[in-house]
Homo-oligomer: A and B are copies of this chain.
Amino acid sequence: MTDKNKVALTPPMGWNSWDCFGAGVNEEQLMANAEYMCDNLKEYGWEYVVCDIQWSEPTAHSCNYHNFAELYMDEYSRLIPAPERFPSSADGKGFSVIAEKIHAMGLKFGIHIMRGIPRQAVHRNTAIKCDGVTARDIAQQFSVCSWNTDMYGIKAGVKGAQEYYDSIFELYASWGVDFIKVDDICITEGHPNNLYSGKAEIEMIRKAMDKCGRDMVLSLSPGPAQIEHAHHLSVNANMWRLTGDFWDQREKVHEMFRKCEMWYKFTSEGCWPDCDMLPFGHLRVGDVREDSYTRFTKEDQYTVMNLWSIFRSPLIFGGHMPDNDEFTLSLLTNQDIIDINQHSSGNRPVVSEKDKAVWTCFDKDGNRVVAFFNLTDDDMTFTMPAEIAETENITLTNLWTKEKITASAEDFSLKLAANDSAIFRIEKI
């Protein structure tokens, strides 16, 4: 059995289709993003190409779900890709052709699933891959997702329950899947239906994944995960969401600072509390009303990159990458920033207030790194917190501009514009 922590020694980096295509991404769009990643980002460590929700639904075309829509399903009640949207999946090939192409590019392939078994399987009472058991026997009849009609939860402990999860991971392994985002499972507050199955379904999924014969990253959604369950999440998953969906709204950035302050102790090899996708570039593609480039300012985007990096969140880009402008691409190809995200240690907040934050860590060479965040709509001047001040003269290198400042820690002073941030590597002279 593989150690699940070995599968994600550093925070996973990749792309996910939700922010740009909602439930409606198709093969062409998916491959276009894979190619972009291969050509532009692979060398910086980006590797996962993840197809988000409802790839079994032939008519999905936006972020609005069609209630009770028919889904493609095989003879064992397992959802399979809709060939209308993923032509290469025809004739029972599932996602194997896509996975193979992505692997050939030197990248990895991921999919999204909902916990549970399709409601349509339960109401038709179709077979599952377990003798003498049908879909109806394993469905948790009162456990329904509160925002999507596809599935019922699965009853832990009944015959066929673990076997059903085993059967779907066996299928995904046969396709060559490297990353699974399981949805409707991580949030552990507010949604009473999850009382029925949350933790138990996570454990069944962990077991099925361990048995499936292929290394896969396990990512749990949506948040907010509750920190009381941090140990359970750490033992079973590689990533878990800290909040509800993150979008290009500044107040959601501020909320993330609160969450990072709570969760920073729980990052370690194989365990990456997840700040969610980076909603940069071309989002909401084809949604007439809202089609738009990110609403974030450049300052906002630097703030997000700086926080996600110094907190060591997974980095999963959300925009349609072929439409990236130069600035957007520059955010993803700063090796210094990526190194902080992938290889730093001792990451923690030094100041964590409503209006400002200062985080610090050590980079892979042992240099101190410090990030300053102005969370207000006014200018703000920062000094070096006593706790991390070095007495000697130091050189501070701005990791975005590469500018160097020489100062003593006591004299250091930094003015940041409204909602701006900055991150520096500090070297003693």
Closest B residue to A124 by beta carbon equals B123
Interface string of A255-292 (1 = CB under 8 A from B): 00000011011100000000000000000000000000
Count of chain A residues near B, Cβ 8 A: 33
Chain B residues with CB below 8 A from A262, complex form: 227-228, 230-231
Is there contact, CB below 8 Å, between B144 and A142? yes
CB distance from A38 to the nearest CB of B (A): 36
Is there contact, CB below 8 Å, between A123 and B120? yes
| Cross-chain contact of A265 among B1, B125, B266 (Cβ < 8 A) | B266
From known contacts A123-B123, A192-B192, infer whether A67 and B230 are also in contact, taking CB-CB under 8 Å.
no
Closest B residue to A135 by beta carbon equals B68
Q: Residue A119 at the B interface, CB < 8 A?
A: yes
Please, how many angstroms separate the alpha-carbon atoms of A265 and B136 in the complex?
Answer: 42
Interface string of A119-161 (1 = CB under 8 A from B): 1101111000000000010010110111101000000000000
Is there contact, CB below 8 Å, between B352 and A67? no
Closest B residue to A265 by beta carbon equals B265
Q: Residue A318 at the B interface, CB < 8 A?
A: no
Please, how many angstroms separate the alpha-carbon atoms of A123 and B135 in the complex?
Answer: 15
Q: Residue A14 at the B interface, CB < 8 A?
A: no
Please, how many angstroms separate the alpha-carbon atoms of A34 and B352 in the complex?
Answer: 41
From known contacts A231-B352, A262-B230, infer whether A68 and B142 are also in contact, taking CB-CB under 8 Å.
no
Please, how many angstroms separate the alpha-carbon atoms of A386 and B264 in the complex?
Answer: 27
Chain A residues within 8 Å of B, Cβ to Cβ: 1, 3, 67-68, 119-120, 122-125, 136, 139, 141-142, 144-147, 149, 192, 227-228, 230-231, 261-262, 264-266, 349, 352, 386-387
Considering the complex of A and B, which 5 residue pairs feature the smallest CB-CB distances, nearest first? A123-B123, A265-B265, A141-B149, A67-B141, A68-B136
Beyond the given A67-B136, A192-B192, A227-B230, please list 5 additional residue pairs across the A-B interface where CB-CB is below 8 A.
Answer: A67-B141, A141-B149, A144-B144, A231-B261, A231-B349
